[in-house]
Amino acid sequence: MSFVKENAVINEELKNGRQENLDDLLDLEKHKLSVIPQKAETNTDRKMKYLGLPIAIIVFLLIYYMPTPAGLSLAGQSVLACFSFALILWVTESIPTHVTSLTLMVMLVFTDAWKMKSVLGVLGYDVIWLNVMAFILSSLLVKTNIAKRIALTLIVKFGHSALPMMLAFIVLQLALAPLIPATAARTVITLPIMLIVAAIYGSTSENPNNFGRNLFLQNLLGINILSAGFMTGSTANLIALAFIFSMAGTKVYYTDWMFANLPVVLVAMLIVWGIGPKLLFRLNKKEKEPAIEGGIDVLKKQLNAMGKFSALEKKGAIIFGIVVLMWVTDRFHFGLFGFEINAVMAAIVGGIIALLPRIGVLKWNEADIPWHLMLFSAGAYAGGLALNDTGAATWAVQSLFKAINFDKNINFWILYTVIIAVMMYSHFVFTSKTMRTIILIPFIIALAKELGINPLALALPAAFTIDWVIGLPISAKPNVILFTTGQYSVLDNLKYGFIVSTIGIILLVVAGMTWFKFLGITP
């Protein structure tokens, strides 16, 4: 069938009102992220909303007015109180999440927890800039129809039902992980595709469904933990290895890391892919298939109707290609140019080109930037950074270790499980992987030495948990960006993050007893 005939068929369908629905779903202009959607609420949501603020205030007062525990500063105590207050409000949504963030910023200053300059300075952090640029680049992919073309291609090939569609995203993230180490960059690349695929399955920011929750949270997991499959996946991985080398005298090579942990990460992804839509956010029959009347055939026709790459698409692809090229070649920049272009700067360069008159493809008004969610990110990040800066996060984790009180007769596997669990769950209080690594890994190595255990047996599996930062929207940069799509709530993220982290612990313990033993990592 020729392209002209295809269009004629689609026009005919449009007359029948079938295509209108598809256009509505695919037109992200109609689902602008910068507009706060009116979400439908359940009775449980209403009760949580009602009780959220009073509970948050009670928790705040209890922590703020209790005698300061030894080892914690007054500022640290205030941060703990303010952060707990905000966390309860983010989960219960008594007030909108961005208003909670603003409240948290004000409370941090009022309670002398963090200096005003530091609190306000968070808006200048790289994660916020990356967020802004992510949405400009995402708008570029949407406006030029590149995102639509990729999403339709993916759906036509894999999207007959939800599970193969989600598996396709795992494969996509796995392919991108070794090429682009920056997790935020991978998020930016795949975000518009996720948005369109979610829309086709009926999940929008106004009306998110369980497909959207599964898709976005599975991608959040994939983007983060697939970095754990490679030693170079994050700077924190390399810092952990530097500690293992300098403090324990063991050198871990790229392949040692990959052979040990990549299988664990892949198994984790497959388990979560399997149980996510069945147990965590159960898909109903409607959510398992594209919410398009006429199904895949209509989408096929839509893809065909797009024809060959338009000039606008080509222009958009070149601009985005330049950014991706800068992300992929980051390690060669210094040698080539004498300076390095990091992920954020590359995104800003892309944003500049995209917005340039005549050369670019976007006008400022077409960039869909959800500013309310930037404020959410800034406030949430301020809370997380204050936890780090005041030593409150370190105090919480060290207190936990002290309370456990290890002795020399402790069974290795009990110790191993506790270490992995503390390391894994510690991402709920640390917003920085680097901070978590530099505080906990040396402690674990020292503990192993004290107990007469090979430090590698504890420190390397503990290092494998560094990239499992999946519990909260502020746990890592990709989380901040993905949360701003409105496809899931803080509570959804918390629930998913906690359950999947627990699965991760079980997997690492099983791997420790079998696979790591075979590789000679554990005794």
Partner 1 sequence: MKKLNNFVFLFFIFLSFSSYAQTVEQLKEELSFNENGKANLKVSIKLEKGNVYNLLIPYNFNGKISEISTEKGFYAEKVNIQGINYLFINRKDSIKFSECNITVIIDEYYDFNNEKISDFGNYLLKYRYINTRFSKIKNYLLKIVLPQKYNITSVDESIPEATEDSPKSPFKLGNKDGKYFVELTGENVKLGENLYIKFRFKENNKSILLAILLGFIAIGYLIIFKDLRKSKAEK
- Mention every residue, 6+ apart, whose C-beta is less than 8 A from residue 48: 91, 92, 93, 94, 491
What are phi and psi for residue 471, nearest 5 degrees?
Answer: -80, -30
| Beta carbon of residue 39, minimum distance to partner 1 (angstroms, whole number) | 13
**For the chain, what's the residue count?**
523
Of 5 and 402, which CB lies nearer to partner 1 in the complex structure?
Answer: 402
Of 153 and 399, which CB lies nearer to partner 1 in the complex structure?
Answer: 399
3-state secondary structure 197-224: HHHHCCCCCCCCCHHHHHHHHHHHHHHH
- What whole-number distance in Å separates Cα of residue 251 and Cα of residue 492? 40
Q: Take residue 480 and report the two structure tokens written for it.
A: 């901040």
Local structure of 521: helix, strand or coil = coil
Of 239 and 267, which CB lies nearer to partner 1 in the complex structure?
Answer: 239
Tokens 């359940």 belong to: 42
| Beta carbon of residue 447, minimum distance to partner 1 (angstroms, whole number) | 14
Of 2 and 43, which CB lies nearer to partner 1 in the complex structure?
Answer: 43
Of 64 and 273, which CB lies nearer to partner 1 in the complex structure?
Answer: 64
- Whether the CB-CB separation of 375 and 98 falls below 8 Å is answered with yes
Q: Take residue 434 and report the two structure tokens written for it.
A: 């680097």
What are phi and psi for residue 96, nearest 5 degrees?
Answer: -55, 150
| Beta carbon of residue 106, minimum distance to partner 1 (angstroms, whole number) | 13
Local structure of 296: helix, strand or coil = helix
Q: How many CA atoms lie within 13 A of 39 on its CB side?
A: 18
CB neighbours (10 Å) of residue 328? Answer: 16
3-state secondary structure 107-151: HHHHCCCCCHHHHHHHHHCHHHHHHHHHHHHHHHHHHCCHHHHHH
| Beta carbon of residue 319, minimum distance to partner 1 (angstroms, whole number) | 36
| Beta carbon of residue 53, minimum distance to partner 1 (angstroms, whole number) | 5
| Beta carbon of residue 68, minimum distance to partner 1 (angstroms, whole number) | 6
Long-range contacts of 206-211 (CB under 8 A, 24+ apart): 206/31, 206/37, 206/38, 206/39, 206/486, 207/37, 207/39, 207/40, 208/39, 208/486, 208/487, 208/488, 209/287, 210/277, 210/281, 210/282, 210/283, 210/284, 210/287, 211/162, 211/277, 211/283, 211/287, 211/288
Of 64 and 327, which CB lies nearer to partner 1 in the complex structure?
Answer: 64
Binding site for partner 1 (CB under 8 A): 41-43, 46-47, 49-50, 53-54, 57-58, 60-61, 64-65, 68, 70-76, 94, 112, 239, 390-391, 394, 434, 438-439, 442
Q: Take residue 211 and report the two structure tokens written for it.
A: 């497909």
Of 211 and 395, which CB lies nearer to partner 1 in the complex structure?
Answer: 395
Per DSSP, 36 falls in state P
Of 4 and 70, which CB lies nearer to partner 1 in the complex structure?
Answer: 70
Per DSSP, 30 falls in state G
| Beta carbon of residue 43, minimum distance to partner 1 (angstroms, whole number) | 5
Of 440 and 508, which CB lies nearer to partner 1 in the complex structure?
Answer: 440
Dump strand ranges (E) for 143-183.
Answer: none
| Beta carbon of residue 142, minimum distance to partner 1 (angstroms, whole number) | 34
CB neighbours (10 Å) of residue 166? Answer: 24
| Beta carbon of residue 441, minimum distance to partner 1 (angstroms, whole number) | 9
Of 161 and 434, which CB lies nearer to partner 1 in the complex structure?
Answer: 434
| Beta carbon of residue 435, minimum distance to partner 1 (angstroms, whole number) | 9
